Every structure is written in structure tokens, then in C-alpha cells.
Amino acid sequence: MKLAMLSTTVAIAALSIATPVRAENPTHVRQLLATGECPSCDLSGANLSGAHLIGADLRNANLSGANLTNANLEGADLEGANLQKANLQKVLASDTSLIDANLKGANFQQAQLASTVFDGAVVTGANFQGAKLYTANFDNQ
């Protein structure tokens, strides 16, 4: 009996350790996906992979650690957003504003960035390997 209880306790402990911590606000995720507007929202750690966020208003949103792989951010406004350590691999971002955004450690591998504005953005440690940057603006870096 004690062995069975010990085994159950160990299994539950292992599952709780292996479960990823999600910090995003589910209401904010639903709001973004339904309306395309979520300024100053908490989307940290959110899985937005493949999301169509065309023209989305994400000014000052917290997207740190978010997964935006293959997302479409055409015309999105991410001014002042926190995208620290976000995964933006293969993202499509044309006419997108990343003015004053925190992009520390963000992954832009194989992203397509056309007419994207990075003025004042912090890009320390960001990975742009294989990214296509067409008329991207990095003024004030």
C-alpha cells in the first residue's frame, strides 16, 4: 500500500514539474484572436503559432516568450511591445511597426520582414539568421 502511494506521489510530482508554465491571460488571447486588438495585453508565453494577426493592435503588449512561428503580422502595430525571447521564426511582417519594441533574444530566423520599422527597438541578441529584410528601417540603433 505504501509503495503504491509512493509511486502515485512520484508520478504526480513528475507531471507537475514537466507541465509548462503558461503566463498569458486567456481572456486577452481570445480578445486578440476575435478582434485583432489587444493593446497592453498580457500575452507572455502565448501560443500564437500560425495566427493571422493582420493589422493587429498590439501596442505595448507583453509577448515575451510567445510563440509566433509562421504568424502573419502584416500591418500590425507592435510599438513598445515586449517580444523578449519570443519565437518569430518564419513570421511574415510587412508594413509592421516594431518601434521601441523590446526584441532582446527574439528569434526571427527565416522571417520575411518587408518595410518593417525597428526605430528605437532593442535588438540585442535577436537572431535574424536566414531572415529576409526588405527596406527594414533600423534608425536610432
- Which pLDDT score, from 0 to 100, does residue 23 have? 60
Full-model pTM = 0.81
- Which pLDDT score, from 0 to 100, does residue 60 have? 98
Q: pLDDT, tens digit, for every residue of 66-114?
A: 999 999 999 999 999 999 999 999 999 999 999 999 999 999 999 999 9
Contact (Cβ atoms closer than 8 angstroms) between residue 98 and residue 79: yes
Give the C-alpha distances (Å, rounded to integers) separating 74 from 26, 79, 91, 94, 128. Answer: 23, 14, 9, 5, 18
- Which pLDDT score, from 0 to 100, does residue 141 have? 52
- Which pLDDT score, from 0 to 100, does residue 68 have? 98
Q: What DSSP assignment string belongs to the chain?
A: -HHHHHHHHHHHHHHHHHSPP--S-HHHHHHHHHHSB-TT-B-TT-B-TT-B-TT-B-TT-B-TT-B-TT-B-TT-B-TT-B-TT-B-TT-EEES-B-TT-B-TT-B-TT-EEES-B-TT-B-TT-B-TT-EEES-B-TT-
Give the C-alpha distances (Å, rounded to integers) separating 57 from 21, 23, 31, 91. Answer: 26, 20, 11, 17
